[in-house]
Every structure is written in C-alpha cells, then in structure tokens.
Structure 1
C-alpha cells in the first residue's frame, strides 16, 4: 500500500491501486451547517472522510474548503486523489493542474496526475508526471521509499505492453497479407497452367463441323437448323447422290464416303478446358500446391518464433536502478549494500547531495564500488534479450 504523508496538513493520501477503504464510519455530517466553518476545518473533515473510504463525501468537503479559500494548492491535490480513488481520472486532472499552478513544488499533485494519466491509459503523460514527482522528492529530501518508483515501474511496464500489443497487431496484419500474396500468386500460376493446357487441347483436336466443306448443301439451304435432326428420316436429305434412297441399306456408305456426318460430330465433341488433365499437368499442379504450402508453413513458423521471443520481454526489477528505473548497465554498490547505476547515482550526488538516496547515509563518489557480479548478470540478460537495450 502506498502512502504519501503531507507534514503540513497531516494528510495521508493512499494510492488508488492498492487501497482498501476503512470499515469505520465517522459521524454523519450531511446536516452540518458549513457556512460558519473555516476552510481549514472543512479540509480536516474531508481528510477524515477520505480516511474512512467516503471519497464522494470527502470531495464535497474539499470543495467547500476550496470555495472559501481557492488559493491553497493542497486542497486541490487532496480532492484530486479522491477522484483517483473513485477512478474518475478525468476529473482529477484539472485539480492537479490547478494545484501545480498554485505551487509548482507540490510533488503530490504531480504524483496524483501521473496516477490519473495511468488510469486513462496515457502512458507517456503518466511517466512525465511521475518522474517529475520523483525528482521533486529527491530535491526536497523527502523519502517515500519505493512508493513513487514502484508506480513509475508500473507505468513503464504498461507503456511497454501497449507498444508490444500494437506491434503484435501490425505483425498479424502483415502475416495475413503475406499469406494472401502467396495464395494469390499460386492461383495465378495455376490458372496459367490450366490455360496453357486448354490451348494445347484445342490445337490438337480434330476439326469440327464448322470447318467442313459443304458449299452445295449450304447453298441449297439443307444445313439449316431444321434439317440438323438426328432422326433417320431427316438424314437422307443430306446424304450423297450415290447412296441408295433407303438409309438402312447403306450405313457403311454413310460412314465411309459422306462429307457431312452430323451424328459423328455430335457424339465426339471437341476437347475443351474441362477435359481430363494429363499426368504432366496434374504433376505441375501438385508441385505448385506443395510449394505454396511449404512457403506458408515457413512464413507462419517465422512469425511463431518472433512471438516466442517476445513472450519473455520484461526486464526484471532487480536489474533496474533505484533512481533511473532503467537497466543498470554500469552497476555500483554503496557501503549500505544498495546497488545503483553509476550514471544515476553520480548525478544524484552532484545535483542533490552527498547521501544515499534510500538510506540517507552520507555517501561520496569514492565510496562507490563496481558491482561486478551484477554487471555479469546484466550482460548475460542482454545477450539473450537485446531488445532490453531500449527498454
């Protein structure tokens, strides 16, 4: 549970993520006449209501206090935290901004603004406010332990997860697109094979009736649609003159010498693209299908490998510095036994003061000792997770 203690007001705000409201209930205050109460008293009533978990009532009394004295920064930050507890993050942000306008050193206003942005899913804004709150805590020599830094790590993790989710969706879309390209290319090649096979079948087919020479009969109108009957009675009209009049007596003559064989044409249609495929064409189509399946399998396997590597993308907290919250590329250890990143602890000693930021014990630069064991651990982690360089 996170607590930020305000020594000027005696106010103990709780972090919205882990707070469990108290079961104790203060006396009913709905009928209290607040017109004669000073703003400080109204703020104190709001604090007690907040501590008991009555956040909506706390907001009401903070509002009374603000109405009577609108120029006190902590009143706005207290009300902002009440909104954060109720997860009304959009309402908390204006109070945080107003609190910062009145007092730029109010680190709680930055901290609560960071929590509000975190609740709204605006990770970059959240980190900006939270890191600023942490910097103010160091400048003001106020020790909140791991309260602020733990929320910073949470915000960084959320930002990282959001970026990974976006990247994953983009990769899924790319995977689908590439699979479709393979299928479309395969279909184009398949159609080309079938088209070539169809053209070859047409070229090798015997001539059909439209190519036969029948000038005399066309001139006489004998080859109209009415005369192209398959019945025996109609056939003698188109048989040659040397055939006897009785069709039944010369079937062989019809087959052997006639230049127009209607029945033969109808019984032996010209081969088309729907004709049975040759063994060679079937082999080509089979190889084409196998090649496409292999390409799709290799592509999907490649994306699966990327997913497997991504699952472990999280920097353990013990590898992150206590000041920068980033991977400790050059870890050093202090006499107190705490490890920091060298760049971060040197910046602290030069800008803030010569003391350990966590234990508050005196500390100078020449007391920093390289933590070689931790450096080996970090190096091994980077070998297996090169993405962590930019974490």
Structure 2
C-alpha cells in the first residue's frame, strides 16, 4: 500500500469503480449503494457525491440530487458537475434564480477547464433553456400587466372625455378630437413598451461568423475577427491551423477573449430573453 494511503481510501476507490460499472449497466440502485459505501468510508471526496447524484438524476430523484450536489460543491467549489446538477435540481422546483446562478457557475468553470468539451455545450443548452423559460414566464406577466394598465388608462380617458363633453357642449367636436389623439398616443406608448418582448433578428455583430448563432464565449483573432471559442478551437483542431475567413495562420494561443462583444451580448440577452431560445 502506498505511503499515506489508508485501507479506507483503497476500499472507497474500489467501491467507486464498482459503482461506475453498475452505472454503465444501468443498475442505478446498485451503483447508489456502492457510492454510499464509498462516502461512508471517505465522506470528503466530492466525486463520490457527484457520482451518486448522477444516479439519482437518472432516477429523477431531484431532491437527493440537490442534497448530494450541495455537499459536493461544499467540498469542492470548483466542481463543474456539482454546480451543473445542482442547477438542474433547483430548476426542477422552479427556483429559476438559484438554478440559473448554479448553471452559470458550472459554465464558467467548464469553460476555464475544457472550453470545447461536450459538457460545456450541454450546460449552455440547459442554461439557455432555463433563461428562455424565465423570460417566457416574466414576459407573460409583463404583457398581462400592460394590458390591464392600458385598459385602465383607456377607461379613464373615456370617462374624462364624457365629463368634458358634458361641461363643454359647444365644443364637443374639439373635445372628441382631443380624446382620439390621446387614445392614439396611449396605444403607441403601450406598443413601444411591449416591443422588448417581441422576437426579432439578433444583430449580426453579436453572432458567430461560422455558426450564425448568438455568441456564448467570443474570442478575437490577431486579424480582428471574432468567433465562438469552442467552434474556432474545433476548426483549428480538425480542419487546420488557419483562420477560416482570412486563411491566415492561426493557433489556439493567439485567441483572446473579446470582452466588449461578450458584454454587449450579455446586455442584449438581459433585455431580450427570447434570444436564448434554442432551435
């Protein structure tokens, strides 16, 4: 036995291996038992908690997913899987605020470790779906509130019109014209107020030149072109070390985060949540 490694550590690692084998065979109950024994032996190893959480996720036991992931991120605040599954669990009970925060944390950590990995893309899709659902919920409420307010304002203007007509019989036509103008102006104001929630084309400068999708993690090249990080890294790895537009030589170490575009995208998405919708 290696120096500094206890028999409990060895047993726990073997139990993790057993749990992984059960998981691959879709024997989730057996996997949970194995991970639970590993946790009993070594409760401070975060991967045992996230592995068990993944089994609970497969069984749609979201309460236990949340419990295990909370423990995992307490032990390792940089656990991508811990934050990711915690976010999913929180969203299951409609806790959009905390769920989205957990997914954003997982995405930041994932991008830092493996920017073009499948998990980063998966986390982004879940985050985008949650953001869109949050926008959909909020925009429905906003629209309902606007309609009620518009109706109240129209009623108030019409009542004022009737009152003015009775007080000024000789100028009834003039009063009516004024009321019509006010009603038209009112409708214009409420139409403008609702425009933010009407989907439209995303501005080109906020979209990747390769995918044509809105940027998630934009990087700029020495030639001044901006691409989605995972997409350009995939191109450099699979196609060749050159810029797909200028055809100039390009290497991963030359890519720099485009913070200006990233901030612009974040500001745009903050106002236009419908742009999170995944096709």
For residues 358 and 124 of structure 1, what CA distance do their matches in structure 2 show?
35
TM-score (ref. length: structure 2)? 0.59
Question: What corresponds to 1:183 in structure 2?
Answer: 155
**RMSD over aligned Cα atoms:** 4.9
Q: Quick one: which of 35, 54, 75 aligns to 2:48? A: 75
For residues 155 and 117 of structure 1, what CA distance do their matches in structure 2 show?
12
Superimposed CA distance per residue, residues 172-217 of structure 1 (whole angstroms, 9 cap, x where no aligned partner) = 31332232232233234425655x69xxxxxxxxxxxxxxxxxxxx
Seen in structure 2, the aligned counterparts of structure 1 residues 293 and 57 have a Cα distance that, compared at 3 Å, is farther
For residues 125 and 222 of structure 2, what CA distance do their matches in structure 1 show?
21
Kindly indicate whether the alpha-carbon contact (under 8 Å) linking 1:72 and 1:102 is maintained by their aligned counterparts in 2.
Answer: yes
> How many Å apart are 1:155 and its aligned residue?
0.9
TM-score (ref. length: structure 1)? 0.45
For residues 183 and 92 of structure 1, what CA distance do their matches in structure 2 show?
52
Where does the alignment leave 5 or more consecutive residues of structure 2 unmatched?
1-10, 242-250, 273-279
- Three-state SS of the structure 1 residue aligned to 2:221 is strand
Structure number with higher relative contact order (C-alpha < 8 Å, ≥ 6 residues apart): 2
> How many Å apart are 1:103 and its aligned residue?
3.6
For residues 144 and 172 of structure 1, what CA distance do their matches in structure 2 show?
41
Seen in structure 2, the aligned counterparts of structure 1 residues 185 and 61 have a Cα distance that, compared at 3 Å, is same
> How many Å apart are 1:88 and its aligned residue?
3.0
Question: What corresponds to 2:83 in structure 1?
Answer: 110
1:156 aligns with 2:44: no
Superimposed CA distance per residue, residues 49-101 of structure 1 (whole angstroms, 9 cap, x where no aligned partner) = 33333434433332233223323221100111122233333322221232233
Where does the alignment leave 5 or more consecutive residues of structure 1 unmatched?
1-37, 198-279, 345-355, 376-381
Seen in structure 2, the aligned counterparts of structure 1 residues 51 and 102 have a Cα distance that, compared at 3 Å, is same
> How many Å apart are 1:293 and its aligned residue?
10
How do 1:1-391 and structure 2 match up within 5 A?
A: 38-137=11-110, 140=113, 142=114, 145-163=117-135, 165-190=137-162, 193=165, 284=172, 288=176, 291=179, 295=183, 299=187, 303=191, 306=194, 310-312=198-200, 318-321=212-215, 325=216, 328=218, 331-332=220-221, 339-340=227-228, 363-365=252-254, 387=268
